[in-house]
Structure 1
Amino acid sequence: MKKASIFVISLSLLSIVSCKNEKKTAETTEAKPVETQVQTLKEVVVNLMAKSESNVSGTVVFTEENGVVNMKATLSGLEPGEHAIHIHESSDCSSPDGSSAGGHWNPTKQPHGKWGAETGYHKGDIGNFTADEQGNGSISMSTNEWCIGCADETKNIIGKGIIVHTGKDDFTTQPTGDAGGRISCGGIIE
């Protein structure tokens, strides 16, 4: 009988200690803070101004979400046919011919080429688009190789310029793609 009483007392003590340990574990688990990451949408609208005595104007909208920048350019006043559009080194569009925007934006020192080419391309080598018979055109693209206002200077498009050219980019002529004169310019600024 004594052995049975000791056994019951031992079991009771064991269950009390066990409950206390479970309670401590539960309290510790509940006390941990939960971290959440909030993604914000960034947007920059660029107004394009006519250059080189053209009538070309339009807007370029850049939006960034979850590390991807989307670009949508809408233009008017163009000659029908193909035209090149590039990001250039500077947002300075003060010169009458757009030359104040500098050369193509090329922070990684690659040769000029078609976007995504294995042989290399400038971060500003967007490409060509077609203007219709009324002189209207548009182009869109998405990339994780750009950012809006981040600290990575090889990706940050803020402070750069958008240039629309009279001709199309041949994707081979260095360093410009032989795209012709600059007929529209806009600064990418916040």
Structure 2
Amino acid sequence: MKKNMLLYISMASVLLGACAIENPKKMEVDMKNETGDSLGKVILQEVAEGVEVDLDLEGLPPGEHGIHFHEKGVCKRPDFVTAGNHFNPDDKKHGLLHPEGAHAGDLPNIIVEDDGVAKVKLMAPIVTMTKGKTSLFTKDGTSLIITENKDDGMTQPSGDSGARIACGEIAKEKEKK
């Protein structure tokens, strides 16, 4: 009987461990600039309202900047075009202000202080970190991009927000323990 109980406990532990890897609820994303320097970390965490995006970055140009999830988890410097377009599994129009929007990857603009620091929490209500159409863990991964200008919330396809100045790759193996 004791052997069977130990076997069941061992099997349950393995299965629970596999589920945690399959559907991480929290992870850390290393954001890098166009020269490959680290700007800091972004913590993504699944919460009831969506995915909380907690930025702790420095070394960005001061001012207002767009920030979006992109459809591929590849941040090849210097222009990060390998990240693809905005994450848009529901084929919506771009922009938090657009009546036919928004992309799942559209996020509110961030403000970078004069010292280059951005410490802010955002909410991404359309995306998830669990399996499904709007999961950030796609076959190709996804990424988080910061742009040189603010997103105007309407202009197609990306809010007239300028060049990509920072990128972080999102993949299951980067899960924060």
TM-score by length of 1: 0.70
TM superposition outliers: structure 1 runs of 4+ over 3 Å: 53-56, 65-68
1:61 paired to 2:56 = no
Q: Secondary structure at the match of 2:82?
A: helix
Question: 2 CA distance for matches of 1:167 and 1:65?
Answer: 29
Q: Which runs of 5+ in 2 are unaligned?
A: 1-19, 173-177
After superposition, give the CA deviation of every residue in 1:77-121 in whole Å (9 maximum; x if it has no partner): 111110111000111012321110001111111110117x54311
After superposition, give the CA deviation of every residue in 1:25-59 in whole Å (9 maximum; x if it has no partner): xxxxxxxxxxxxxxx871111001111x4867121
TM-score by length of 2: 0.75
Q: Secondary structure at the match of 1:125?
A: coil
- What does residue 135 of structure 2 align with? 156
Which is higher, the Rg of structure 1 or of structure 2? 1
1:76 paired to 2:58 = yes
| 8 Å CA contact 2:72, 2:142 repeated in 1 | yes
How many Å apart are 1:143 and its aligned residue?
4.5
Question: 2 CA distance for matches of 1:146 and 1:90?
Answer: 15
Q: CA RMSD in A?
A: 2.3
- What does residue 91 of structure 1 align with? 73
| 8 Å CA contact 2:107, 2:123 repeated in 1 | no
1:101-140 aligned at under 5 Å gives the runs: 101-114=83-96, 118-140=99-121
Question: 2 CA distance for matches of 1:43 and 1:81?
Answer: 28
Q: Which runs of 5+ in 1 are unaligned?
A: 1-39
1:169 paired to 2:144 = no
| 8 Å CA contact 2:108, 2:122 repeated in 1 | no
Residues 147 and 110 of structure 1: CA distance in aligned 2, closer, same or farther (over 3 Å): same
Question: 2 CA distance for matches of 1:182 and 1:161?
Answer: 12
- What does residue 147 of structure 1 align with? 128
1:43 paired to 2:22 = no
Question: 1 CA distance for matches of 2:51 and 2:164?
Answer: 24
- What does residue 3 of structure 2 align with? none
How many Å apart are 1:67 and its aligned residue?
6.7
After superposition, give the CA deviation of every residue in 1:58-88 in whole Å (9 maximum; x if it has no partner): 2111111457422212221111110111000
Identity %: 33
Question: 2 CA distance for matches of 1:114 and 1:123?
Answer: 10
Question: 2 CA distance for matches of 1:67 and 1:173?
Answer: 26
